[in-house]
Amino acid sequence: MSLGPVMVGLSGLTLTAEEREMLQHPMVGAVILFSRNFENTLQVKALIDEVHALRQPKLLVAVDHEGGRVQRFRSGFTRLPAVRNFGQLYDQDPKRAKRICETAGWLMAVELRAVGVDFSFAPVIDLDYGVSTVIGDRAFHRDPQAVAELTQSYIKGMQRAGMAATAKHFPGHGAVEVDTHLGIARDERRLVDIESEDLIPFERLIHNGLAGVMAAHVIYPQVDDKPAGFSHFWLQRILRQQLQFQGVIFSDDLLMEGAAVAGDVCERAAAALTAGCDMALVCSDFNAICRTLDHLKKFDNAQCTRSARGAGSPASHLRLARMHGRHPISRDQLHNDPQWHQALHVLGPWLEAKPLDLL
């Protein structure tokens, strides 16, 4: 069974019988974990191991683990700083900031790999325009060149730890005030302005082999009347054709209010896949997930894309398979690794927890 085009959330700390059955659905390809799925490192590793054991190829397991406000796993993990700290350091010492970014990317990724997580939805490469509270200190910097340099280093660290990177939120979420979890967001800028600013980090990272991109639930009415994650223009013409992106395109969570313009959750999933997403995210509500899976199973796969390279195609399956984590490592091996101790030392001034709290 190949990986399906839907990423789903789970309800708690262990799989229910209904969730085990759901994860066998051919439309499922991945699981995303949240704080509700985490109690401690032993529990979450057991949960991930069970998910991975259900199918071949293994379902992907993902999490939002950026640091700062957005870090789903806490106890037993390094309390990573918000990445704005690295942007502030960049203004004083760019070379040191890039070295520390690589260390932070490695540390984030290797600790997740030690419990079996395949990838984190990171890094955020939105620009910090100072207007978006939902982005805020999740952004590295306002300057696109600085963001490109810092995130390139961060991704290099992730790759050393065996984790593929997913840049978000394409084509840029930092210039809108509305939180798309709660409302409809519109960015009134022209395409030329977005290209000259927000797309620069995406273009730089794509040219260096970026594996994944998450699309924003933001409408750019000067460009298209649909949110980017449902827009053939943004996903196909700009991301695939103009920027030559060859990796996975993820939707953002389709249960967010910013996606409501595309209809109910079933219509949203179909619209996202039709526009060019390889994987649609439905992160909560078991009934909504099941309705979506059954709807997509009936949905003619040829309609899910205007290109033979889209969702459900062999090319899409290959892209998704490349998101599997590499370089497996146990927590005991990690805690005996001098590189881990050195990373904690390097990042020490920014960490919330003392190193001994992590053992």
Active-site residue, from 179, 181, 285, 337: 181
Q: Nearest 5°: phi and psi at 35?
A: -60, -30
Residues 6+ apart with CB under 8 A from 323: 30, 60, 62, 118, 119, 164, 211, 212, 248
Q: Which two tokens stand for residue 259?
A: 């996606």
Packing angle, helices 144-160 and 94-113, rounded to 10 = 40
Q: Which two tokens stand for residue 255?
A: 């249960």
Q: 225, exposed or middle or buried, with CB in 10 Å at 0-12, 13-18, 19+?
A: exposed
Residues 6+ apart with CB under 8 A from 289: 6, 8, 9, 22, 282
- The closest alpha carbon to 52, from 324, 258, 358, 261, belongs to 324
Cα–Cα distance between 154 and 161 in angstroms, integer?
A: 11
Q: Nearest 5°: phi and psi at 168?
A: -145, 155
Cα–Cα distance between 327 and 301 in angstroms, integer?
A: 34
Cα–Cα distance between 58 and 29 in angstroms, integer?
A: 8
Q: Tokens 């000067």 belong to which residue?
A: 222
Q: Which two tokens stand for residue 283?
A: 């992160």
Q: Nearest 5°: phi and psi at 9?
A: -100, 165
β-strands 65-67, 70-71 pairing: antiparallel
Q: Taking the C-alpha atoms of 229, 230, 236 and 240 in order, what is their torsion angle to the nearest 10 degrees?
A: 20
3-state DSSP assignment of residue 120:
strand
Is 337 designated active site? no
Active-site residue, from 137, 198, 252, 253: 252
Is 335 designated active site? no
Active site residues: 181, 252
